[in-house]
Structure 1
């Protein structure tokens, strides 16, 4: 039953996350909202919605290891796993100015999160600050892009956004997709978190490890699908922007909203090890992106290798204990 809950929850998150984005974008287009605004808000928010609902559900159930581990593990997986796969498919060109705003914001949000982790708890005041910072970042990104984007960049963004919803449909269809997708995400998150807690207890391992692995990767499936499709279309810059934007939203939005809902205790395991892996992965992708304005295939392989090493370290001790080895 536990494994069935996990599989059903992951499937619902992947399918319903896509339905929510399609429906929300369709509604936004009929409200005459520009593709630029849609791309900066609805698409990025929609692909991160599974992480948000899963962390809120984990906080409601009193499982801080899953709530925090989901965010930290998702950021690690987004960079090392998802970006690594995308770079292996096609080298990722870094557009000039891509990191002018996003890079410093990602680094700043990561450092601020680790600083708050060291306090042992992310309180409501910290959640409020994170949400305000996210709103400020979104508004700054919107106005800077409005002033600085060239016509061809706007055309590319419009093309990516217009590819998401069905070509023809009524208001009822898009509203149905939006509401149905949101409800499916909530149900999927409930199944995933319940299954994750049951699995951790049955295997005798910490909920934090489950949050950092199964839950984190599962809720990152929409980002994986988006980035892989973009890479196959030779739009590697879209894959990079998707990962960077998602990581910023995970830290400022998901941690912020979850802490506003309920203060989150930070497990010692995350403070001792995983948050530093997140910082190292963030630094590594920025170095790769800025050195030659491109993330090459060998660098993608290095990112994937790093994720394999991280999982090996994370799972080695629990696996030895489960097998009864010294």
Structure 2
């Protein structure tokens, strides 16, 4: 039964996330916000909403392990699972902005998160605010840089410009309700599953919950790779990881402090997250520069499988 709640929760989160993205973009067009800003801020925030609702719901329920594990596990899955499988299907070309801005920011914010958590075993309001402010500064630099390079945003659906006010409100209501109930059911199912399997909430959140919230991104990447279209960019995945830490954990901590209840989050999981982030640099430069091909994708996927195995066996 617990698996059913998890699956239903994930389905609602996917539906809610999709409706929220569409309504947010349509609303942004009505306020004459540029496509560049919509793509880098509105869409990014809306696509992070499922993770935010899950972490917030978990923190409010006193399940900090799920709140933290959801984000840390999702960041690991984005690189090990999503990037790994996508690269195996179709090699990815990497542009130079990866190591000039995106990757350094992801590493910096990951290290800052570690020190914030280890300093008092809690992420409080001030630390959450600092994380969120760092995201605002990063987005400002990113938008300024993109404007100067006249970057084209491909992911915005122009048809949403014509959306009626009624549809926008309806989509917002559907999206909000689906996200609310989806997060409730997913957190409830994850707790029940941990109990029935005899493992901690942390194990379920860094593995099954994290994989579940990465499924939409994985599905989109695999379909694009199989069709030989432009697969998901490494920049998008890194951007998602930055948002998960700075936006999801930042906003959650501003509403409800997140404590480190399971020591393995700090002694193991967060180091796995930083290791998956750090290994991207040698993968991008050695041996073939600016490409992540099939062998490199396989290395990432095998490493991810080892992480999942150790997460389940490490507590027994």
TM-score class normalised by the smaller sequence:
over 0.9
Gaps of 5+ in 1: 322-326
For residue 236 of structure 2, the aligned residue among 233, 236, 242 is: 242
Note the C-alpha offset of 1:230.
Answer: 4.2
Q: Which residue of 2 aligns with 1:160?
A: 155
Distance 2:89 2:26 in 1: 30
| Correspondence 1:10 to 2:10 | yes
For residue 279 of structure 1, the aligned residue among 255, 262, 274 is: 274
Distance 1:191 1:314 in 2: 23
1:285-318 per-residue CA deviation (whole Å, 9 max, x = no partner) reads: 2332344111111111111111111111111245
Assess if the C-alpha contact under 8 Å between 1:48 and 1:220 holds in 2: no
Assess if the C-alpha contact under 8 Å between 2:66 and 2:201 holds in 1: yes
Distance 2:38 2:209 in 1: 27
Distance 1:290 1:129 in 2: 32
Assess if the C-alpha contact under 8 Å between 1:51 and 1:71 holds in 2: yes
Q: Which residue of 1 aligns with 2:296?
A: 299
Q: Which residue of 2 aligns with 1:324?
A: none
Q: Which residue of 1 aligns with 2:253?
A: 259
Note the C-alpha offset of 1:3.
Answer: 2.2
Note the C-alpha offset of 1:184.
Answer: 0.6
Moved more, 23-32 or 261-270: 23-32
| Correspondence 1:228 to 2:222 | yes
* CA gap 1:49/1:287 in 2 versus in 1, 3 angstroms: farther
Stretches of 4+ aligned residues off by more than 4 angstroms: 165-168
Assess if the C-alpha contact under 8 Å between 1:106 and 1:244 holds in 2: yes
| Correspondence 1:178 to 2:179 | no
Assess if the C-alpha contact under 8 Å between 2:5 and 2:188 holds in 1: yes
Assess if the C-alpha contact under 8 Å between 1:88 and 1:297 holds in 2: yes
Q: Which residue of 2 aligns with 1:55?
A: 55
Assess if the C-alpha contact under 8 Å between 2:30 and 2:161 holds in 1: no
Q: Which residue of 2 aligns with 1:197?
A: 191
Q: Which residue of 1 aligns with 2:117?
A: 117
Assess if the C-alpha contact under 8 Å between 2:90 and 2:228 holds in 1: no
1:29-54 per-residue CA deviation (whole Å, 9 max, x = no partner) reads: 33332211111012222221111110
* CA gap 1:254/1:167 in 2 versus in 1, 3 angstroms: closer
Distance 1:305 1:285 in 2: 15
Note the C-alpha offset of 1:243.
Answer: 0.7
Distance 2:61 2:187 in 1: 9
* CA gap 1:68/1:310 in 2 versus in 1, 3 angstroms: same
Q: Which residue of 2 aligns with 1:126?
A: 127
Distance 1:175 1:225 in 2: 28
Number of residue pairs aligned between Structure 1 and Structure 2: 311
Q: Which residue of 1 aligns with 2:212?
A: 218
- TM-score normalised by the chain length of structure 1: 0.89
Note the C-alpha offset of 1:272.
Answer: 1.0
Distance 1:36 1:175 in 2: 23
